[in-house]
Amino acid sequence: MKKYNFDEIIERRNTNALNTDGFREYIFHAGLEKVFPFEDEEFIRMWVADMEFATPLEICEAIRERVDRRIFGYSMITDPGYYKALMNWCTKRYDWSFKKEELVFSPGVIPALYQLLEDLVEKDEKVLTMTPAYGYFGHAAEYNHAALVCTELKNNHGYFTIDFDDFERKAADSKVKVLIFCNPHNPTGRIWTKEELKRVAEIVKKYKLWIISDEIHCDLVRQGLQYTPMGKIMPRYQKLVICISASKTFNMAGLMLSNILIRDRKEREKFVSRDKIARFLNPLSIAAHKAAYEECNEWLEQLKTYMDANFRYVKEYLDKFLPEAVFSIPQATYLAWIDMSRCLPEVRDFPSFFAYNAGVLLEGGNSLFVGNAEGYIRLNLAMPRSVIKTGLERMYHAIQNYNRSNEK
């Protein structure tokens, strides 16, 4: 069995990476005029949701083989082998299948979400989601001039559940036409149980809502746990759209390819006809994603083992050094959602605080997420453990120094 090295530190600067070169604009809405007590190369980067791990060698080799063909003309997925690879992946891992004609493509889940809301929601209508939510759920609604209605998840010491009474109350609004659902949930990391999914489905059906289910984190679950696709819960519901990709799983978000499963024929045809890239895809992305589904199962299993240990390390560190932090190891994703409000009760802008005082880049709060996120940070843990160790130590010392100075 091949052993993969997740402790390797890879230099990403000067690769046009958002992670290293775009943090000022994304987190702080600023340019190079924004300076910190740390040089850019000194930052511990625990923010954007891509990995610090090398993309599997099998994928890199598939890209090299495609490069060796030496022509990169207009490309789209016509090879039935891609559908077969994806279907085998879903069948073996999730006991779930879908019809080939339901499969269309987008450069990413977010571009698809923008297009779907443009298709499905009129300007005086509303979109429903559960908060805290990924920021682009709100951005997509805003872009399409649709009001965003939020139902807050209930929080029990870091374990989040759906407030079904409030959810149904919001869903019953005749102006609400679409539910943007996240399964597994970002940022809390919940894997919704079959019972929870069935209750969501019942409410969606009752009020005849469209449901767009972002399931891009579905492969990134803790060992021993299982995610259930919404497609299994709603096998015949036509107003269901499911968004998945190998991009998050195998660290190739920059290759820009997502699988969008649209049940309804009319909406599928509309989505394709209004596709801004005219169905063309990057030929290297096609090769990479097919290889991921066909050849990278063992890499993923070793990744999950490493990530489980990363989460245990963070939990043990916080319990020992920052017991005021409220954190429960998530069931899925590689993201830690941590309530820091009792550690720094006077601080409102955690991304700025930790950037200036610890040299750690992270996301958090209602400015970067949709509601119900005040006092929280999100830490990306998909990186070598040595980097996480340094980041946590810096954060701890920054908190200690700040609290000591405020006691004087």
**Ranges of the chain whose pLDDT falls below 50:** none
* Structure confidence by residue, pLDDT tens digits, 208-244: 999 999 999 999 999 999 999 999 999 999 999 999 9
* Structure confidence by residue, pLDDT tens digits, 163-202: 999 999 999 999 999 999 999 999 999 999 999 999 999 9
All CATH 3.40.640.10 domain ranges in the chain, comma separated: 57-295
Element (H, E) at 399: helix 385-407
| Long-range contact set of residues 71-80: C-beta below 8 Å, sequence gap at least 24 | 72/283, 72/284, 73/283, 74/280, 75/280, 75/281, 75/282, 75/283, 75/286, 76/105, 76/279, 76/280, 76/281, 77/105, 77/281, 77/286, 79/286, 79/290
Element (H, E) at 25: helix 23-28
DSSP summary character for residue 101: G
CB of 235 within 8 A of CB of 263?
no
CB of 255 within 8 A of CB of 284?
yes
Q: What are phi and psi of 40, to 5 degrees?
A: -55, -40
The amino acid present at 195, given as its one-letter code, is E
pLDDT computed for residue 1 by the predictor: 78
The domain 18-55+296-407 is placed in CATH, from the list 3.40.50.1100, 3.90.1150.10, 3.40.50.2300, 1.20.58.100, at 3.90.1150.10
Task: For residues 290 and 288, give the distance between their C-alpha atoms in angstroms, rounded to a whole number.
Answer: 6
The domain 57-295 is placed in CATH, from the list 3.30.930.10, 1.10.520.10, 3.40.640.10, 3.40.50.1860, at 3.40.640.10
pLDDT computed for residue 408 by the predictor: 62
pTM for this prediction? 0.96
The candidate with the shortest Cα–Cα distance to 297, out of 99, 93, 79, is 93
* Structure confidence by residue, pLDDT tens digits, 364-392: 999 899 999 999 999 999 999 999 999 99
Q: Is the Cα dihedral 391, 394, 397, 399 positive or negative?
A: negative
Task: For residues 78 and 89, give the distance between their C-alpha atoms in angstroms, rounded to a whole number.
Answer: 19
All CATH 3.90.1150.10 domain ranges in the chain, comma separated: 18-55+296-407
